[in-house]
Amino acid sequence: MSGIAAAHISPTHRVSAVILLASALMVLSLLRHAFLYASVSLFLLIACCRGIASLEASALARAHVHIEAIGRTEGDEVLVSVVIENTTLVPIPIAEIAVDHSPHLRLVKGSKLVLACVPPRSRIAIYLSFEPRIGKHWIGPLRASVRDPLGMFRSSEFSVGSRVYVRIAPKVSEATIRRLLVRTRSSGFVRGREPGTGVEFYSVREYRPGDDLRRVDWKHFAATSRLVVKEMERESYQSVLFLVDATPRMLYGPRKNTPLEHTLRIVASLSMYLARRGDLQSVIVFQRKGLASSSLSRGRRAFNEVMHVLSSIELDTEPLDDSDRASLLMRAVRKAISMLPRERNAVFIFTSSGSREYLDALCNAITKLSSMGNIVYVVLPLVTLYQATDLPKWAKLAFTVKTYELVKLEEEFASSLRQRGAKVIIAMPQFIPATIASIIERIAS
């Protein structure tokens, strides 16, 4: 309804020509009265066209607009349908409609600019298809304007409908998960065992007052006259936290192959791997708008929560000062400390290089987490040259130079972290999952 007030009807260049013609006929009417009728008719036509344009604008502003966006993972195109229903008796013969959408979505089918005719009490549909990209993206509202049938008046642009969102989850690599599971079995890593409730025998120990008499080994007592109790074993589960930097610094590099998008795919695949193992896991994402996190849980529920958080990230390319970035990191660390159990947890901080201020904040974060007994690693995914295959020759050369500079910065940042005693994983994305899985297995075993 706000579009009605916002729509301003303005004349086009055609009106000037018609007014000149009507004025000329008005002058000629001084010689012959027949020209007067023609002149008045033209002025009435101008008024009617303006009234028609106003009615069209009012009808379109009152139209029911339904926008539906369907997309789940990177492998599926984002399918968008826009249905515009004219609920009035006023026809809309010429409507210029533009579908607004997130700049991170790339149109592959259809047109976001449409010249449409909407008859009274009827509807039209517009279908679009976008190339998917990880994260939360917006579509709509529509930007619309109308013209009268003769094109003498045009309304200003106004909004119709409301914005909808689509969440695209990172693609889970089943091949990566299978390699991790096979590697775990072939390398001899097994889940840690510890005393507790279970069905398999673990060891025996001296009886202590308060022990359950049903656990006393009476055969051993008959043979040695010593009271001992049986302890059964249980599998020890590892708690894993992924702390993801989703600030603009993580979005440099080729489209769909930035450090952030590589990170999200790595975390998604590792999350499925941990879910199948039954380990506790959680993710915390920090970006300009604040924090997003999943609860510390295991199994399919944990995986679904992690994927929901990853698919809700809004890609942000506006510059962000490193002082604000450091502040967001420390907020994420405080959140992590409040949710992690008081035991040895594996924490992986996915981030990228930054200023000395951000380096200090990162080292401070590692110190705080490590002081609680956690094993903390900083993970720096590297953007590689082979990902620039779709660029022209001159752009590929520029990208090569820029990539070398960025890789050098990441390596210098990693070296500074190591000098301060931090554990760092810096590698190309395809090698990171196996490295992290090995670390988790070593901690759990």
Tokens of 42: 């033209």
Residue 214, number of CB atoms within 10 A of its CB: 7
- 411-424 pLDDT, tens digit per residue, is 999 999 999 999 99
Q: Return d(Cα 406, Cα 401) in angstroms, integer.
A: 9
pLDDT band at 199 (very low <50, low <70, confident <90, very high): very low
Name the 3-class secondary structure at 127. strand
Q: Which domains does the chain have, with CATH numbers?
A: 1-168 (2.60.40.10), 174-189+237-444 (3.40.50.410), 193-235 (no CATH)
185-189 average pLDDT score: 48
Residue matched to tokens 């607004």: 100
pLDDT reading at 144 higher than 60: yes
Cα(326)–Cα(328) distance, integer angstroms:
5
Split at pLDDT 50, 70, 90, the class of 187 is very low
CA distance 274 to 197: 22
Q: How many CA atoms lie within 13 Å of 9's alpha carbon, on the beta-carbon side?
A: 21
**Above 70 in pLDDT, residue 192?**
no
pLDDT at 238: 82
pLDDT bin (cut points 50, 70, 90) of residue 234 is very low
What tokens does 202 get? 């673990």
Judged against a pLDDT cut of 50, whether residue 282 lies above it is answered with yes
Average pLDDT on 164-191 reads 78
- Taking residues 309-313, what's their average pLDDT? 96
- 331: Cα separation from own chain's centroid: 20
C-alpha closest to that of 68 among 60, 77, 79, 59: 79
Instruction: Answer with the residue of higher pLDDT: 397 or 335.
Output: 335
Put simply, whether the predicted model's pTM sits higher than 0.85 gets the answer no
Question: pLDDT band for position 189 (50/70/90)?
Answer: very low
Of the pLDDT bands very low, low, confident and very high (cuts 50, 70, 90), residue 320 is: very high
324: its two tokens: 């604000």
Residue 14 clears pLDDT 70, i.e. is over it: yes
Q: Give me the pLDDT at residue 309, please.
A: 97
pLDDT at 1: 44
The confidence score (pLDDT) of residue 399 equals 64
**Which residues contact residue 335 at a Cβ distance below 8 angstroms, ignoring those fewer than 6 apart?**
284, 291, 293
Q: What pLDDT shows up at residue 193?
A: 46
Structure tokens, 17 = 């020509």
pLDDT digits (tens, 9 = 90+) for 249-270: 999 878 888 999 999 999 999 9
3-state helix, strand, coil in the chain (%, to 5): 40, 30, 30
Of residues 361 and 215, the one with the higher pLDDT is 361
Percent of the chain with pLDDT over 70: 88
pLDDT of res. 257: 87
pLDDT averaged over the chain?
87
The count of residues in the chain is 445
Q: Is 75 helix (H, G, I), strand (E, B) or coil?
A: coil
In order, the DSSP letters of 302-369 are: HHHHHHHHHHTPPP--S---HHHHHHHHHHHHHHHHHHS-SS-EEEEEE-----HHHHHHHHHHHHHH
| Residue-level pLDDT at 198 | 45
pLDDT of amino acid 384: 66
Report whether pLDDT(367) > 50.
yes
Nearest to 436 by CA among 205, 218, 183: 183
Q: Are 82 and 125 in contact (CB under 8 A)?
A: yes
Please check the confidence at residue 284 and state whether its pLDDT lies above 90: yes
Q: For residues 234 and 201, is the Cβ–Cβ distance under 8 A?
A: no
**DSSP per residue, 215-276:** GB-HHHHHHHS--EEEEEEEEPPPEEEEEEE-SGGGG-SSTT-SHHHHHHHHHHHHHHHHHH
The predicted-structure confidence for 378-411, as pLDDT tens digits, reads as follows 999 987 654 555 556 656 666 666 777 888 889 9
The b-or-e profile of 176-196 (16+ CB within 10 A means b, else e) is: bbebbeeebeeeebebeeeee
* C-alpha to C-alpha distance for 32 and 437, rounded to whole angstroms: 96
Query: Tell me, what's the pLDDT at 326?
Result: 96
pLDDT at 200: 47
Average pLDDT rounded to a whole number, residues 141-152: 93
Average pLDDT of 292-317?
95
Helix (H, G, I), strand (E, B) or coil at 201: strand
Q: Which two tokens stand for residue 424?
A: 């760092």
Please give the average per-residue pLDDT across 221-244, as a whole number: 77
Range of weakest confidence among 14-18, 193-197, 288-292: 193-197
pLDDT (0 to 100) of residue 392: 64
